[in-house]
Structure 1
Amino acid sequence: MADDDRSPEEEFQELMRQLFGGEAGGLDPEQLERLTGLGIDPAMMQTVMQHLQGAFAGADGGISWDLAQRQALHIANQDGLGVTDGQRSDLDQAFSLATLWLSEATSISELAQPPKTLTRGGWVEATLPVWQELAEPVATSIADALTSALRDQAPEEMQGLVQGAGRLMRTVGGSLFATQLGQVVGRLSKEVVSGGDVGIPILPAGEAAILPQNFADFGRDLEIPEDQLALYIATRELAHARLFRHAKWLRLHVISQVTDFARGIHVDTSALEDLASRFDPSEPEELRKALESGALLPQRSEAQTTALTRLENLLASIEGWVDVVTAEATSRLPSAERIAEAVRRRRAVGGPAEQALGSLVGLELRPRRMREAAAMWRAVTDAVGVAARDALWDYPDLMPTSEDIDDPAALVARLEARARGEEPVRDEFDDALAALLAGEDGGPADPEAGDGGGPAEPDDAAEPDDAPEGPRPV
């Protein structure tokens, strides 16, 4: 059959076959004009095809994170401002003095490399790999759900074509999410003041940085001398970076808890199917709004709620320690308490971009129990001193628990007993472990077990109860 003899329905099906069959580059614009018989606007269809062709050209079944980076950098670099020599000099001086003050407030050593002043674009490039790692489980879930929903919405006669378009549909969904993430991260680059401003380690381990553009915006309405503000922010940023450099396990611990939470997210398919039923590819704004508002993410499961509680306690412990160390290091600053309260309020509320990020990945990275955790760290410092307090970060097993945050008295008592050289009080866990070890060493796990009631031979006897024990972690 000649091309001119095809019906509009056949023309449309041919276009879809070319697109999904990998022949996107061979589409003839004149074919689009023949779709008017179906009531389809050729100009709109041309736009849709261009978007789909672009997605198909780069489709490998994965998500194009380059889109996220380009979108974030476009927003971050809109003002075209960089870091002036004066800003860099002022912040370098603040970092130098903050380093000296921190050496008096913590036993954790200095950073191996000097802190930086970053532009907004530089912050995007330095942190986007972490945002990608945190968001990828949700992006994959949305892309897979979009593929399924669109397949379910397709008419029966199109099922053969749609089944062959799974990779493309998944790429389109992932690309939309990546673009939206880029917009959120780009806007976030205009809010954050320092590398540790969002509570999680988004910069490489051991790196500290301040964004001068945002630092100026943060202090504009506080009516606090800029040199004092710079000293406080520099001290806080260095404390955060020192902690993650010292506790080498901590970065992976935080990131893995966030990604474990994100992997438990499954898109609300009913909401997505409803959206897909009225989705206009030429007007993707509704899908963008649904992604950013969190409308596609269902209520948290019980397992996710438990994981979120663990993460909040961990973030609160980190922020609480940073808060206490910063307060002690900046005690010479007349405005230190006012700045600290402004920082706490800002962290508790979060900015618009941070709220959008929470909706996008279903997680708000805010330390809801920071004040309680800070009170715990102050109690520990008063009881056993700086060195013993900071030693709790040496290993994960030594970290305070949520119960310690609620009531630090038991933690303080254990630390004080250890400082006096006393053995910790045995609990049920110690007794169970001792019984298990005794069984593994050949000792009788059941006191009534035996060969007839006679006394045990010396070689078969269990170790004496008063055998010395190793130190038990606090």
Structure 2
Amino acid sequence: MSDLPFGFSSGDDPDRDKRNRESGSGPGGDPFGLGGGQFDMSQLGQMFSKLGEMFSGAGSAMATGKSSGPVNYDLARQLASSSIGFVAPVPEKTSAAITDAVRLAETWLDGATALPAGTTSAAAWTPTDWIDNTLETWKRLCDPVAEQLSTVWAEALPEEAKAMAGPLMSMMSQMGGMAFGSQLGQALGKLSKEVLTSTDIGLPLGPKGVAALMPEAIEALADGLEQPRSEIVTFLAAREAAHHRLFSHVPWLSTQLLNAVEAFARGTKIDMSGIEELARGFNPASLSDPSEMENLLNQGIFEPKATPEQTAALERLETLLALIEGWVQTVVAEALGDRIPGASALSETLRRRRATGGPAEQTFATLVGLELRPRKMREAADLWTRLTEAVGSDARDGVWQHPDLLPDSSDLDEPAGFIDRMIGGDTSGMDSALEEAISDLERDIQKDAGGPDNPDEPRDH
């Protein structure tokens, strides 16, 4: 994980001293306007407001006094909208062309997959539309990580340390929400102008059943390609529609994706030794010294540390996203066939886009420190293609019936064994899942009955 989530840094910033000299926040400056002397509790609110302005550049949002939670989404939306700027409405002709492309793509996909159509409407979104229609999903993705990061270190403090650090903890919570919101807003603003469809990063971000394409980004992509724009739009419509077939008719899929992010959040650990040392020597009066406060916030003691639990969660998330992308690529290639001669070239273009760190990689690196590996996506597509050749599209798509039937990371590395199991009709994954479900049900029945089973009494199944 090369990037820490939500802009946490190691504290090493070679430009910080220069910025401090320019802003007057370094030694010798007094940006709080408190001057020297003893710490005055009556000036606490003003000091915190000034501190937020100095560090986050968004003092006006803090001045509202609203509790923003682990992520300040109002700030995120504001920053994203500001970076987008003026947006012209999508012409009706463009919207109609996208609707026609989605309808045509759905017809072709019917012959390539057993999963029925998952779209109920088509839409042409502006970047602002994308923000408005996806922000609720981003909240579900961001909150688990942000909540864990904002509370895990504070909860581990001894009670006496919590009392001593109370003002600092309150300020850090509010500033953390603004920092997360600022980071997310910048990422979403950039992403909204680069994504090609609502499912471009492999997640069901928009409303269920709405196949949405982004004309502005598609136009920018088409400028550097030789294929006709009509083919590009139809190709992207097919990818969007294929994603919706999965997300609409594989009911556990969205939950599994979100659970992987939440599992990552639950695995977040903070090195408490630094915080405990801070708590032992913490003096609230030091808050009156801006240079001391800045030094405190940049010591890196609040940084999350990678854990084995997080590594396992990220591997599950990466594998599932690779399987989704590989399946979509396989199904779209079969559906379009010779109908769009440039489909293979377009698929390769998107693969290179991912390999060079496109919007998906940037977003996940910001969100959870995960960079999707194109190698996994290529291997997943190869597995689905070989599985289709071996057992047909119906049996291939039947793998999505239960998460335990899906290939795992080792299967992507060695697909032959997985294909052999499918050819032999191996459903051990499903069998074990059913056995576990029955065991859970029996335990619930025992609990409701008030205790363990009486071995002399018959049991109903």
Q: Same fold, TM exceeding 0.5?
A: yes
Indicate whether 1:173 and 2:163 are aligned: no
Residue number in structure 2 paired with 1:3: none
Q: d(CA) in 1 for partners of 2:192 and 2:304?
A: 28
Q: d(CA) in 1 for partners of 2:262 and 2:164?
A: 35
Indicate whether 1:127 and 2:137 are aligned: no
Indicate whether 1:206 and 2:209 are aligned: yes
Indicate whether 1:103 and 2:110 are aligned: yes
**Aligned residue among 293, 318, 324 for 2:324:** 318
**Mapping for residues 129-278 of structure 1, pairs under 5 Å:** 129-144=136-151, 163-164=166-167, 166-266=169-269
Amino acid in the other structure paired with 2:205: I
With 199-208 and 306-315 compared, the bigger mean Cα shift is at 199-208
| Residues 1:203 and 1:136: Cα distance change in structure 2 (over 3 Å) | same
**Mapping for residues 429-448 of structure 1, pairs under 5 Å:** none
| Residues 1:375 and 1:360: Cα distance change in structure 2 (over 3 Å) | closer
| Residues 1:250 and 1:60: Cα distance change in structure 2 (over 3 Å) | closer
Q: d(CA) in 1 for partners of 2:206 and 2:274?
A: 35
Aligned-residue RMSD, C-alpha: 4.3
Give ranges in structure 1 of 5+ residues lacking alignment: 1-5, 25-43, 152-158, 419-423, 441-474
Shift of 1:176: 2.0
Shift of 1:97: 1.1
Residue number in structure 2 paired with 1:334: 341
- SS at 1:208 equivalent: strand
- SS at 1:57 equivalent: coil
Shift of 1:222: 1.3
Residue number in structure 2 paired with 1:15: 43
Q: d(CA) in 1 for partners of 2:271 and 2:63?
A: 24
Q: d(CA) in 2 for partners of 1:363 and 1:425?
A: 32
With 168-177 and 218-227 compared, the bigger mean Cα shift is at 168-177
With 87-96 and 345-354 compared, the bigger mean Cα shift is at 345-354
Q: d(CA) in 2 for partners of 1:344 and 1:121?
A: 26
Shift of 1:47: 6.3
| Residues 1:8 and 1:295: Cα distance change in structure 2 (over 3 Å) | closer
**Mapping for residues 278-357 of structure 1, pairs under 5 Å:** 297=303, 300-331=306-337, 332-351=339-358, 354-355=361-362, 357=364
With 112-121 and 59-68 compared, the bigger mean Cα shift is at 59-68
Residue number in structure 2 paired with 1:29: none
**Aligned residue among 80, 85, 101 for 2:87:** 80
* Equivalent pair of 1:205/1:251 in contact (CA under 8 Å): no
* Equivalent pair of 2:52/2:175 in contact (CA under 8 Å): no
How many percent identity over aligned positions? 37
RCO higher in structure (CA 8 A, sep ≥6) = 2
Shift of 1:55: 4.8
- SS at 2:370 equivalent: coil
Give ranges in structure 2 of 5+ residues lacking alignment: 1-33, 279-285, 443-461
| Residues 1:178 and 1:147: Cα distance change in structure 2 (over 3 Å) | farther
With 319-328 and 347-356 compared, the bigger mean Cα shift is at 347-356
Shift of 1:300: 2.6
Shift of 1:322: 0.4
Residue number in structure 1 paired with 2:10: none
Shift of 1:353: 8.0
Shift of 1:115: 2.2
Residue number in structure 2 paired with 1:388: 395
| Residues 1:368 and 1:205: Cα distance change in structure 2 (over 3 Å) | farther
Q: d(CA) in 2 for partners of 1:219 and 1:187?
A: 19
